[in-house]
Structure 1
Amino acid sequence: MPDVDPKIQYQPWEGRFDEACQKSGEIRPHWEYVLNALTQLGPAGLLDRQQKAQRILRDDGANYNQVGEKSKSREWQLDPVPMLIDSEDWSRIESGLSERAELFDLILRDLYGPQELIRNRILPPELILSHSSFLRVCHGLSVPGEQQLILHAVDMVRGPDGTIQVVADRTQAPSGAGYALENRLVMSRILPSLIRDSQAHRLALFFQALRRKLNNLSPNGGTPRVVILTPGAYSETYFEHTYLANYLGYSLVQGGDLTVRDGYVWLKSLDGLHRVDVILRRVDDTWCDPVELRGDSHLGVPGLLEVVRAGNVAVANPLGSGVLENPALHKYMPQVSHFFLGRELSLPSVHTWWLGDPDDRKYVFANLDNLIIKSTHRRAGEHSIYTGDLNDEQRSQVRAKLARNPERWAAQIANLPSTAPAWNRNKSNLQPRPTVIRGFAVADDSSYTVMSGGLTRVASSSKQTVVSNQLGASSKDTWVLASEPQRYTTLRDQQTTSLTGELSSDLPSRVVENLFWMGRYSERAESSTRLLRTTFMQLSAVNSLPEGVRRQLLWSVTAVTGSYPGFNSENKETVADPEPELLAIILDSKRFGSVSSNLHAMLNCTEEAREMLSGDTHRVLSDLRDTLDDLPQQLRPGSLSAPEEALDPLITSLLALSGLTQESMIRGFGWRFLEMGRRLERTLQSILLLRALLVPVLSEDEEEQVLEASLMCGEVLVTYRRRYRSQPELRNTLILLLLDRTNPRSLQYQLDQLTQHLSELQDAGDSTSSSILSEERRRLLEARTLLRLCRPEQLAELDKDGQRSALDQLLGKLFTLMNDTATLIAGHYFEHKSNPQQLVNTRWSDYE
């Protein structure tokens, strides 16, 4: 069989349909241009494109979270070789996808309506009525418009003869459309001329139709408020949720962001409640309403079903549509199609057996060595099983599992997927990989609009039979090649007028709270890192530190980070050999107050507020994650490099993050609370540092070194030297660090900024109460007054007992007032009451 090129070789498998090569070995006509262009690039050029694609995906934060592993996520993988479908082939697939969506819409309406399929024994009653996703409480519910099934996704493979067959339907909360769009945008950056010259169909029409349909679903008239309901940052496809929210211009919400009052669903934001008209859900059926469905759910909205029942909110896809994902339905699709449409489906399903049928069960047990086994109740983390990959013992275990609850299982013929060229960077060549294509259809007017492309998943190895993201599959951009140039389209045609004149009206209070804590944790991490860097520099200085200065610096690390017991006076061994403790305060992510712990907490907050952050901000966060991951290697024991050098990139990334939030965030509620969190934490950290370093009385020489360390931590040592042209003195140091309004790190500056933010927040609220100080503003005013009335020379003086009691008392009082201010802000703006739950848990125990 001929090679594609002497540089890049490709050898398809025998016995499998290959997307790029015919059985004779010749390249299919619609693949010739792309493969020739990739050949011209050569292995080095293709490797460069792949690396660039991964950098873009990393900077965009594109990932896929592993099920059940909160701290583990996997970067989204994109193969630089696209999946190509010619226009003639696509026209058949497109009409088949539209036809299948229409049929599934009819099935959905029937199952929650007259149930003619069950009455006429076309579908066995036990197949539907015993399914966990068949929700009896949803009987008779409907969404506005002709179609009930708004979004439909179909997984397709080509058989050995090249015919497209359906292996799965996704009707509950179909995922993948956002990843397909991300793939297309990345490919347009790494191979712009190739995608343009190939005349690949654009994807914008699908998203236009999606937005148009969601807007038309509103049951309340006027300009609709549409939200995307997500399970949260630990959902497998959370990136897609945030991506679509930003692309479509909708608010991304979690269950706790919504509440039911007076028969409507409302979005809880800092400026009040806003009525929600349409919910595009990414939460599975039974988790959507803890009152009527799953009582232990914290992902849904209590009372949601009652509002749907009253017709005051539309949910897409409708609750209960998960029953259509039952793979055993494929066995009955020919009969269902004849019942509703009077004909065979143009996109048939793969041959399927349901083990609840005695004859099917007998066949499956007799042919268990070459089937795909699927659960009829799809659960997170559960995969299909290809029995051909099992040994005799494993096959026996599967047989026993199926025999216990046969009605819970379906089997499909092992119709191994077709292969397509995929880039193997390790061998610098193209290799065939099994592929599964997911197509998407959205209800539009009286029919369905099909995405001109889709999400192609590629097996991670040639031996992998079940192609799944959860099993490590990568992806391809899917190009449907047009026979003529395409009309340029964007979502601009679908832009609607602003719901209000305020940018912050759709911002959930949960997002604002996470931004507030993002500011606090980032400042906490930066302050600790600066102090640790200064401590390392002082400890490794050419001239050894006096013992008093050494003890004071080390104790300040414990006092500022809160990592007790740390360097207390009783822990003499730790003080004598401080490096292990200092490294633990940096690296131990499970230790309260450590740099790593604070940074991980900050990164968790950024995930919850991902949609509020710019692309450049996400790139800085990615760099910060990489730097954090590299720290153990940089700070390994016995390393010859200076520890403070390893901390410099952390501080640089944190400063870049601070600068970007200043320059790229709209001055709305989100930015204001992020800034308040930063200013509050900087105040608290500065007070702890000054109290630990400047209150204790040392000798004159020792005090000079401690003052220099304080100025270094505050980034004003150079300023001090230029302004005072003398060695550090306590009075002048206090002026610069406490009272100087031109110093963005002084206490006075932080309090001024906080006062401005709180004033504008209160003024933006009820005008009748804006003249009355809130409790947090009272505490802040008291702190400002104390600071304004203090005299630096008195604070620097020693009392009759030889102590700096005036400075200690001032800093202690300020710390208490600022802690109270932080608590009052959280209580005022972020306090959430628990949602109502079922009095009796109606969740049945899981089956085996």
Structure 2
Amino acid sequence: MSPLRRDPFDPSTDPSTTTPPPLSNERPVSNASPNAPPTPALFSQYRKGEGVYDELYDASGVRGAWRPFVQAIEGLGVEGFKRRWQQANRALNRNGLAYSSWKENEKEARPWELDPIPLLIASEDWDIAVKGLQQRARLLEAILTDIYGHQELMKSGVLPPEVVFSHPGFCRPFHRQRPPANHFLHFYAADMARAPNGKWWVLADRTEAPSGAGFVLENRLIQSRTLPTIFHQANVQRLAQYFLAFKRAVAAAAPRVENPRVVILSQGSGGPNYFEDAYLARYLGYTLVEASDLAIRNHRVMLKTLGGLIQVDVIIRRPNSDQCDSLELSHTAEGVPGLLQASRNGNVAVINPLGSGLVESPIFMAFMPKLCQELFGEPLLMPGVATWWCGDPGQMDHVLANLDTLIVKRSYRMRGRELAFANMVRNQSREATIKMIRSDPHQYVGQEVVKRSTCPVWKSQGIAPAPIAMRAFAVASGDDFEVMQGGLVRVSAAPDPLEMSILAGEKSKDAWILSQGPVNRVSLLKKAGGPIDLKRTGGELPSRVAENLFWLGRNLERADVCARLLRATIVRLTSESILEEQPETPALLRALADIGQIETGYGIEEIRKQLPPLETALPPAVFDASDSFSLRAIVTEIFRLTTRSRDRVSSDSWRILHRIDKSFTPPAVGQWDLSDLLTLLDDLILDLAAFSGIVSESMTRTQIYYFLDMGRRIERALQQVRLLRNCLIEPTGDLTAILEALLEISDSSMTYRSRYLADVQMPAVLDLLLTDETNPRSIARQLVQLLDHVNALPHNTSSGLFSLEQRLAMTLLNETRMCDVTAFRESEDLNPNAPLSLLLQDIESLLPKLADALSNRYLVHAGAQVQLTEIRS
């Protein structure tokens, strides 16, 4: 039997060897060696594992590259180091860093854990890995170019045709593309580990849409701030050089454009990499989009914005190739219909090109040594993990005979499904696995079990060794590839791909590539050049983002009024007087029921007596996430909308709203009551006020601000109208007490008292809450702001007529301005047919019409695509 690849640890291994030679049996060396440096106290419990390469220790003790770092860490002391670690965790939690920053379909976001001890790699050691990665990236690109081109490798038999033509990712529409800048591979990543002899080897190639670079950047930011002095003294190579090369590669791919418009095509907030997509979009200055934001016109890709359609020149895609064009890839309803044709015509550069993920399937690992010799006439500098393809009878016999020592995988990678398959193989019997392989041998490979190196990891009981793997990144640069001076390190005891390690919530590490001398400063800031056109507009805002911001504003105000109304009610529930003795009680309960915070029966006295006491029913109702009207559900929606607009929200704004989502929860253990709820409501109101302050003082007055604030103004006016209607139309109880409660909930008590002292009368209260345009909480103030924002939006000025939304905004403001609040003095002025009630009804009916008009003109974009014909296999 002849394996199809060489030994991963020794490129010179004879390819006719049946199996790789056994791994090194290197055993850990005692740190008590007389020639070894003394082991510091913080690392005193550290013991390297058996039969693996240890990154910290060699035969003589602490490795040379690690010694200055270990000494510096010891200088911090155990308590000092713990404090730094806690600071790092707080920073991660504050930033909301997670593998999936939002949960969809019951999938929980995975919090990102950063280990405070980085992985240190000497520059001369890393240089060896860099050369191997560069060769491997060139090789994979050459393979892709041949498969989608003249296919000489298959014609010559070096690559069996069935390997390609049986690949579910090989689609005819991908064939004979014109790759941007003649690159079939712009971005490449490799999952690597060290063998017990210390040599690097490749666990998996990532060529579809390699993820993780954004997490590397965030890890470095946190790590460098956690250990700033140690970081700078260690001469750590910077990451910025890679991202400069990244931007150069993107610019070079643009079709005939000097200053291209670049977008990052994301899978959306439900995708596992959304945090990274938003993070890189902000860091690199690119626009984050989803498929629904793009349209094809005349074989050109257009971005749907508030100002119209804008041509896109470069798309950095994150979805799988088969999810990018629903027109030519009939098995999917996702993507941008016509994208492939626009790419073929050279009107847009898609990177990596569609179909580039073909070669990241495990089956290609079995042929890489042979392909490298065929295409380059040289051996692999960094071999991959030993792989046997069951489509070859001899290889299948070897896999079946060694099932206990090999990992069975699908020949062809299907992103997102590896974990389910791995669990299935683990849980089924040996006989079932043999039957599965024999039934369709071409679909399976056997791979050698990975023995990963170990590295120090901080644990509650101290520093201990743990297996690690590392994802390295490379970007096309001219005829070669530039490799990032760092990488994404994951702590993982299981021999699963790194994506599974991430999904399992394993820790991450920063990788420090140590330079032998001082490191030059590198910045992504552009050097001074020619003049640029000044802009004070935001017409490039995608309509989807504007819609998210609009509804974010509405939900923020909805949460605020709910919290204030709940607080006012709870204050009365916990006072000395019983609730029924307080004259404003019926109005408050009616208002709470109207906005869905309690059952409607509590607003009717006869029914309320038959329901559970409000004191016990209210807290669970507030936190009932299954009820879309509950305050907890509103807070959840706020966080969801913020996540979907993360690239447009400032860091401070994000931290506030993330804190709200995390903190507005009932105690996990023990009993809690109205006093706990009251504290949470106070904190919520303060945090919402802090966010409003940031919006008011820090957000530039562009379309981003207009749509966020229009949502807030519409909702605040609408909620204020409902509050007035529930409390004043046909009131029951003492009117003065009701008016005082209205002022309290509307945060206007202080203003009223400064004007009128303690004399509470209905005309003065109505003026303050309804028609006073100087009061930030009045209905009139909201309508003034709405009209200003509507007038600032893009309009067709050629007709000379006002738009529908302008007419509605003017009608609302004029009706409010024409209201004479001094006429409302007697109880008969508060009946359902009185002018005050009719005015409130008009405002309440016109505000939704204004919201619909804004949505129809600016926010409507393509909905879910519909398959018009049945899919044929």
TM class, shorter-length? over 0.9
**For 1:526, which of 536, 557, 560 is the aligned residue?**
560
Residue 264 of structure 1 contacts residue 275 of structure 1 at CA under 8 Å; is this kept in 2?
yes
1:188 is matched with 224
Partner of 2:237: 201
1:478 corresponds to: 511
Evaluate the alpha carbon distance shift between residue 283 and residue 423 of structure 1 in structure 2; reply closer, same or farther with a 3 A threshold: same
What does residue 383 of structure 2 align with? 348
Does residue 666 in structure 1 map to residue 696 in structure 2? Answer: no
Check if 1:639 corresponds to 2:673.
yes
Corresponding position of 1:122:
158
Aligned to 2:779: 747
Distance in 1 of aligned mates of 2:826 and 2:833: 6
Q: Tell me which residue corresponds to 2:478.
A: 445
Superposition RMSD in Å: 2.4
1:167-217 CA distances to partner (integer Å, 9 max, x unpaired)?
A: 100000000111111111111111111111111111111111110111111
Which one of the candidate residues 467, 476, 498 is aligned to 1:434?
Answer: 467
Shift of 1:601: 1.0
CA distance in 1, matches of 2:200, 2:169: 28
Q: What is the rounded CA distance, in whole Å, between the counterparts of 1:351 and 1:414 in structure 2? A: 9
Structure-1 separation of matches of 2:538 and 2:433: 54
Q: What is aligned with 1:712?
A: 744
Deviates more, 1:511-520 or 1:719-728: 719-728
- The DSSP-based 3-state class of the residue aligned with 1:493 is coil
Deviates more, 1:134-143 or 1:464-473: 464-473
Map residues 300-315 of structure 1 onto 2, 5 A cutoff: 300-315=335-350
Check whether the contact 1:563–1:592 (CA below 8 A) recurs between aligned residues. no
Call closer, same or farther: CA 1:638–1:104 in 2, change over 3 Å. Answer: closer
Match of 1:648 in 2: 682
Identity %: 37
Match for residue 306 of structure 2 among 270, 277, 297: 270
Q: Does 1:759 align with 2:795?
A: no
Which of the residues 715, 732, 744 maps onto 1:698?
732
Q: Which amino acid aligns with 1:479?
A: W
Q: What whole-Å deviation, never above 9, does each CA across 1:11-44 have from its counterpart, x for those lacking one?
A: 111111111111x251111111112222222332
1:779-794 aligned at under 5 Å gives the runs 779-794=808-823
User: Which structure 2 segments of 5+ residues have no match?
Assistant: 1-29, 32-37
- In structure 1, how many angstroms separate the alpha carbons of the residues matched to 2:220 and 2:862? 42
Does residue 191 of structure 2 align to residue 161 of structure 1?
Answer: no
Contact 1:563 1:591 in 2 (8 A): no
> Are the counterparts in 2 of residues 295 and 840 from structure 1 also a CA contact under 8 Å?
no
Task: Please give the TM-score of this superposition, normalised by the length of structure 1.
Answer: 0.94
**How big is the shift at 1:70?**
5.1
The structure 2 residue matched to 1:96, chosen from 132, 140, 155, is: 132
Question: 2: CA distance between counterparts of 1:476 and 1:161?
Answer: 22
Q: Match for residue 229 of structure 1?
A: 265
Q: 2:806 aligns with which of 750, 753, 777?
A: 777
Q: SS where residue 268 of structure 1 aligns?
A: strand
1:44-102 superposed Cα distances (whole Å, 9 cap, x missing partner): 22222222112222222321029975551122111111111111111111111111111
Query: Taking structure 1 as reference, are residues 841 and 656 closer, same or farther at Cα in structure 2, changes over 3 Å only?
Result: farther
> How far apart in 2 are the matches of 1:801 and 1:204?
67
SS at match of 1:723: helix
CA distance in 2, matches of 1:842, 1:800: 65
Give the paired residue count: 831
Structure 2 equivalent of residue 359 of structure 1: 394
What does residue 25 of structure 2 align with?
none
Which of the residues 317, 323, 326 maps onto 2:361?
326
CA contact (8 A) 2:113 2:505 kept: no
Q: Please say if 1:572 is aligned against 2:604.
A: no
Distance 1:610 1:378 in 2: 31
Per the alignment, residue 813 of structure 1 pairs with 842
Is 2:568 aligned against 1:538? Answer: no
Q: Does 1:615 align with 2:651?
A: yes
The CA distance in 2 between the partners of 1:576 and 1:204, in whole Å, is 61
- Give the SS at the match of 2:632: helix
Q: What SS does the aligned partner of 2:247 have? A: helix
For the 8 Å contact 2:363–2:412, the answer to whether it is kept is no
Distance in 2 between residues matched to 1:624 and 1:498, nearest whole Å: 40
Query: How far apart are the structure 1 equivalents of 2:395 and 2:373?
Result: 22
Counterpart AA for 1:658: S
1:417 Cα deviation (Å)?
0.8
Mapping of 1:370-389 within 5 angstroms? 370-383=405-418
Deviates more, 1:257-266 or 1:50-59: 50-59
Unaligned runs of 5+ in 1: none
Note if contact 1:291-1:837 (Cα within 8 Å) is conserved in structure 2.
Answer: no
- Structure 2: distance between partners of 1:397 and 1:683: 65
- 1-side partners of 2:360 and 2:633: how far apart? 41
Larger deviation: 371-380 or 655-664?
A: 371-380
Structure 1, 105-114 or 184-193: larger mean CA deviation: 184-193
* CA distance, structure 2, for counterparts of residue 575 and residue 743 of structure 1: 39
Distance apart, 1:366 and its partner CA: 1.1
Change (3 A) 1:151 1:574: farther
Contact 1:436 1:457 in 2 (8 A): yes
Residues 142 and 179 of structure 1, relative CA distance in 2, 3 Å threshold: same
Deviation for aligned residue 1:483:
1.1
The partner residue of 1:675 within 709, 717, 721 is 709
Residue in 1 that maps onto 2:40: 5
Aligned position for 1:592: 628
Letter in 1 for 2:303: L
Match of 2:23?
A: none
SS in 2 for 1:252: strand
**Distance 1:404-1:710 versus aligned 2 partners, 3 A rule:** farther
Cα deviations by residue, 1:267-314 (Å, 9 ceiling, x for unpaired): 11001111001101001110000111144333x111101101111111
Q: Secondary structure at the match of 2:91?
A: helix
For the residue of structure 1 that corresponds to 2:777, the secondary structure is coil
How far 1:576 sits from its partner (Å)? 6.7
Amino acid across the alignment from 2:795 = G
1:145 alignment counterpart: 181
Corresponding position of 2:764: 732
C-alpha displacement at 1:440, in angstroms? 0.9
CA distance in 2, matches of 1:484, 1:171: 33
Q: Deviations over 1:675-731 (max 9, x none)?
A: 0000000000000001001112335xx211111111100001122122111242211
1:201 is paired with a residue whose SS is coil
**Partner of residue 86, structure 2:** 51
Spell out, residue by residue over 1:237-270, the C-alpha distance to the aligned partner (whole angstroms, 9 max, x if none). 1111011111110000000000000110001100
Distance 1:800-1:227 versus aligned 2 partners, 3 A rule:
closer
From 205, 218, 227, the counterpart of 2:254: 218
- Inter-CA distance 684–196: structure 2 relative to 1 (3 Å threshold): same
Equivalent of 2:641, from 601, 605, 614?
605
* Alignment-derived partner of residue 558 in structure 1: 593
Contact 1:4 1:39 in 2 (8 A): no
* Contact 2:830/2:837 (8 A) holds in 1: no
Question: Which deviates the most, 111-120 or 56-65?
Answer: 56-65
- What's the offset of the Cα at 1:828? 1.4
Secondary structure of 2:157's counterpart equals coil
1:137–1:502 distance in 2 versus 1, CA, 3 Å: farther
Contact 2:776–2:782 under 8 Å retained in 1? yes
> What CA distance in whole angstroms lies between the structure 1 residues aligned with 2:725 and 2:477?
66
- Give the Cα–Cα distance (whole angstroms) in 2 for the partners of residues 132 and 500 of structure 1: 49
Q: Which letter maps to 2:743?
A: L
